Structure 1
Amino acid sequence: MSSLNKFIFKYLVYCPVLLIRREWIFGHLSRLKRSQYYSRKAIEQIQLEKLNRLLSHARQTAPYYKGLPADKLESLADLRNIPFLEKDTLRENAEQLYSNREGLKPRPKTTGGSTGAAVTLRKSAEGMAQELAATWRGYSWAGIDIGDKQARFWGVPHEKKDRLRAKLIDFVANRTRLSAFAFSESDFGKYLKNLEKFKPKYFYGYVSMIRQFAEYIESEGISPSIELVAIITTAEVLTQSDRETIERVFGCKVYNEYGCGEVGTIAHECEFGGLHLTSENILVELVDDNGNPVSSGEAGEIVVTDLVNYSMPLIRYKIRDYGEFSEKECTCGLSLPCLERVFGREYDYLVNSRGDRFHGEFFLYIVENLAKSGQTFRGVQFVQYPDLSIVVRLVGKNLDRDFLKDFFQQALTEKMKDVIDVSVELVREIEREHSGKLRVVKRISAPNH
């Protein structure tokens, strides 16, 4: 029955949608499955050729890049001579970054970004197809194929129109969605019943929620009748403790995924634990505070160039995460380079007086609605204190504090179904943690006595 279900969704639902959207992935997927075994030198040559084509296209069709050099780069190292693209620049100069070439069939993409302020961009249909192909290649390392049933521990949009769109996408992808935005132990019980009926082949979603679901099952002494092939975690740092807990409870391997909304998938974990970069689509640099390449074995800020998005070229884009390249050869046989670790991103969950939990991404949907009100801001942070009060910190110019207080007071009280004491602070910047992490949503626990 499961094989029939997979056949129906892969060939009669998913593939027709790809054709309609002109995002046919299978030629790209075949090439990626070959190139993952190419030598490092051959992969770097692919990157250089794609990079030069992208630079020429950007210079000729995107006003922001009209000052790019006309000469081809001789090596990937020459990319250092091109300025970085900052998130604020992308947000404030989006129109200048759009390509004016016709026929690219751009798709709009909106992401909260690591500072919480929304970033809206475009990606060409061809670029989306290559992004999807890289994603499915990464999933194949975990034993997952197109059409396999997925349980998605993810956000549910607040607006009705957006919720309907999410339901349609979930249907096409053969997945059920479990809200990570507001959940309690009673919700976990309902989720478990739904999953035992749906019988997913794999989980996908936020580390924190999947771990909390695992802890609920373990604490209740439940033996779930769910047979999973793999669990793919994303969007948050996966600790060794997270991995061990999730694998122990569900009896399958956890595979980490790293990416960002602006460029899509960046790296996927193989069965031997290597976090392999999608080097054919994305060029990744690590730089120090002065913008120089870090030395071998050192951590640095992650800078990406999307080699396949011609609708809105993102060249040397600083995504405000930090990482470290692996110096070891992965034993899996893939020649794609690996990240040793990624850090700089963390969302806590906040709670109401009943103990219901609200995942950090939940609050970014509220921020997206705020952006529609005309308030212009560059960053946001939610901090909850032991008395359950919430402070919202915003970075921006000419912000209306009274309007913002009323907005967040109403939105948080309504969405969290509780009377929440909300205050607003207008700040010059959102400070990072000592570890380098920038926490958009942060819960401060009461001190132990």
Structure 2
Amino acid sequence: MRLFDFSLFLKRFPIKRAKEELLQISEIKEADYEAFLSVKKAKIVNYQLEHNRFYRKKVKGSFSDWESLPIMKKEDYQIPLQERLTKGFSEKNVYLNKTSGSSGNPIRFAKDKYSHAITWAYHMERFGWYGIDFNTSLQARYYGIPLDTIENKTVQLKDFLANRHRFSILDLSEKALDEMLEVYKKKPFDYINGYTSSIVLFAKYLKEKNIVLKYVCPSLKVCIVTSEMLFEDDKNLLEKHLGVPVVNEYGCSEVGVIAFTNPEGEWEVDSKTLFMEILDENDKPLTLGKEGRIVITSLDNKAHPFIRYEIGDYGALSEKSTSKKPILKKLLGRTNDFALLPSGKKAAGMTFYVITKKIMEESGNMKEFKVIQTKIDTFEINYVSNEILKAEKIKAITETLEQFLEKGLTFHFNRKEQLDRTASGKLKQFVSMVIQ
């Protein structure tokens, strides 16, 4: 029985119709695709202008051309959901969710039933590239789990319907990892899916034990990581010790999957249900290859407008991108993940993380770490490792960071048993506590 499809049907998400539309969109020729997108964009804008009072106030006038439309930011949605819903929709006839809140206050939002169905259909299509069927493939899941009893039971039911075994990512001790490995010996998992940092930590455990997971669990086909940055050396580690291809998924709860590694190794952007723009600081579109703010339009969500929505990330589209097949060349991280330095210079938080990571992992015993800016010139580097960092390593990290950034910075290194994660289990690799 196709339990997953059946569960969507019971909730009145028209998954069959959504799958049919995706197939029809796939057949549109590249030469006709830009025109198709123009029609879809105009259709959703005109619908919201006619039926959504909240969006109509934001636009302040009629729809003349695309670039005249406002860029919607997260703070625009910091009002009660009822005031943002489109006419004809209520909390009783939509799919409701909220953002994680990792980049600020969480936002409650809605998707109409069809919009949610086509998001799932797209998700299923992309996983299908790697032989994964949500109805039959067994998933090893690395996500958080709610502590609230009712929410916990709801998640367990969803896991059952979606054929998922959820591992706790709040306990990644040696004992917990030993027990995790035993589960792989007993269950015929088809794929791994979840937060990058937790799966990387498991792969480091496998490396220490000199184990390739595919030999332990021969049914394993692919590993799909999401929600956190995937670095090239971590990808190599995963592929070597999991023994399967590693796929990078990028998305957000508001709009769904934004980009997904295709079988050619490209980070393909969803152009069927979304429209992605890369904008400069003046809201002007950048040419392919240039880095800027990622802005997304949900082409099907009638219940709640996500039109020219700045999701809070920086990135760049590849020069090879086309209207039908945009390719995400680079994802630089959150727009608020920047460190303000004493000189006034702003530096991407990932600069600290990448440089520190390279040097620390040369020691061979590093499991994971987190960089926290506590003052304008002071950084805490909390890490988990088998051995304490030696003085020469600390000196090398300090000198390298000063070379890339500026002199006069202070770094405190703190060895921890376990790093703090968000309530959902994500590891935020760089955090600034400095008001900018």
Give the TM-score taking structure 2 as reference length.
0.73
CA distance in 2, matches of 1:124, 1:306: 12
What is residue 314 of structure 2 aligned with on the other side? 322
Shift of 1:280: 1.6
CA distance in 2, matches of 1:205, 1:249: 17
1:277–1:338 Cα contact (<8 Å) kept: yes
2:198 to 189, 200, 209: 209
Closer/same/farther in 2, CA of residues 84 and 387 from structure 1, 3 Å limit: closer
Shift of 1:95: 3.3
1:190 aligns with 2:179: yes
CA distance in 2, matches of 1:317, 1:220: 45
CA distance in 2, matches of 1:261, 1:329: 24
Report Cα offsets for 1:297-345 as digits up to 9, x if no partner: 1011000111111111111111110111111269xxx952211121214
1:32 aligns with 2:22: yes
Show the 5 A alignment for 1:153-168: 153-168=142-157
CA distance in 1, matches of 2:302, 2:53: 13
Shift of 1:358: 10
CA distance in 2, matches of 1:290, 1:85: 14
CA distance in 2, matches of 1:100, 1:38: 32
What is residue 15 of structure 1 aligned with on the other side? 5
CA distance in 2, matches of 1:323, 1:182: 32
What is residue 50 of structure 1 aligned with on the other side? 40
Q: Structure 1 residues 254-263 or 24-33, which shifts more?
A: 24-33
What is residue 88 of structure 2 aligned with on the other side? 101
Shift of 1:213: 0.6
What is residue 249 of structure 2 aligned with on the other side? 257
1:81 aligns with 2:73: no
CA distance in 1, matches of 2:118, 2:184: 31
Closer/same/farther in 2, CA of residues 130 and 35 from structure 1, 3 Å limit: same
Query: 2:281 is paired with a residue of what secondary structure?
Result: coil
2:297–2:306 Cα contact (<8 Å) kept: yes
Query: 1:169 is paired with a residue of what secondary structure?
Result: helix
Query: 2:277 is paired with a residue of what secondary structure?
Result: strand
Query: 1:15 is paired with a residue of what secondary structure?
Result: helix
Query: 1:66 is paired with a residue of what secondary structure?
Result: helix
Closer/same/farther in 2, CA of residues 57 and 335 from structure 1, 3 Å limit: closer
What is residue 238 of structure 1 aligned with on the other side? 230
What's the C-alpha RMSD, in Å, of the aligned pairs? Answer: 3.1
Aligned AA (1:194)? V
What is residue 189 of structure 2 aligned with on the other side? 200
What is residue 294 of structure 2 aligned with on the other side? 302
CA distance in 1, matches of 2:49, 2:246: 42
1:66 to 44, 56, 60: 56
CA distance in 1, matches of 2:380, 2:130: 37
Give the TM-score taking structure 1 as reference length.
0.71
What is residue 426 of structure 1 aligned with on the other side? none
What is residue 158 of structure 2 aligned with on the other side? 169
What is residue 436 of structure 1 aligned with on the other side? none
Closer/same/farther in 2, CA of residues 37 and 338 from structure 1, 3 Å limit: farther
Q: Structure 1 residues 107-116 or 158-167, which shifts more?
A: 107-116
2:120 to 127, 132, 136: 132
Q: Structure 1 residues 33-42 or 283-292, which shifts more?
A: 33-42
1:326–1:338 Cα contact (<8 Å) kept: yes
1:146 aligns with 2:138: no
Shift of 1:277: 1.4
Closer/same/farther in 2, CA of residues 165 and 229 from structure 1, 3 Å limit: same
Q: Structure 1 residues 255-264 or 101-110, which shifts more?
A: 101-110
Structure 1 unaligned residues grouped into runs of 5+: 1-7, 349-356, 361-382, 389-415, 421-438, 445-449
CA distance in 1, matches of 2:36, 2:4: 29
Query: 1:31 is paired with a residue of what secondary structure?
Result: helix
Aligned AA (2:53)? P
1:285–1:302 Cα contact (<8 Å) kept: yes
Shift of 1:127: 0.7
Report Cα offsets for 1:178-218 as digits up to 9, x if no partner: 12233212111111112222221000111111111111012
Aligned AA (1:132)? W
What is residue 92 of structure 1 aligned with on the other side? 79
CA distance in 1, matches of 2:146, 2:368: 13
Aligned AA (1:247)? E
Query: 1:38 is paired with a residue of what secondary structure?
Result: coil
Closer/same/farther in 2, CA of residues 34 and 53 from structure 1, 3 Å limit: closer
Report Cα offsets for 1:66-102 as digits up to 9, x if no partner: 24488666xxxx3110111110111236433211214
What is residue 105 of structure 2 aligned with on the other side? 117
CA distance in 2, matches of 1:359, 1:173: 32
Closer/same/farther in 2, CA of residues 247 and 95 from structure 1, 3 Å limit: same
Shift of 1:143: 2.2
1:109–1:122 Cα contact (<8 Å) kept: yes
1:283–1:306 Cα contact (<8 Å) kept: yes
1:231–1:253 Cα contact (<8 Å) kept: yes
What is residue 396 of structure 1 aligned with on the other side? none
1:113–1:261 Cα contact (<8 Å) kept: no
What is residue 226 of structure 1 aligned with on the other side? 217
Shift of 1:226: 1.1
Shift of 1:443: 7.5
CA distance in 2, matches of 1:417, 1:219: 18
Shift of 1:34: 4.7
Query: 2:167 is paired with a residue of what secondary structure?
Result: strand
Shift of 1:16: 2.1
Percent identity between the aligned chains? 27
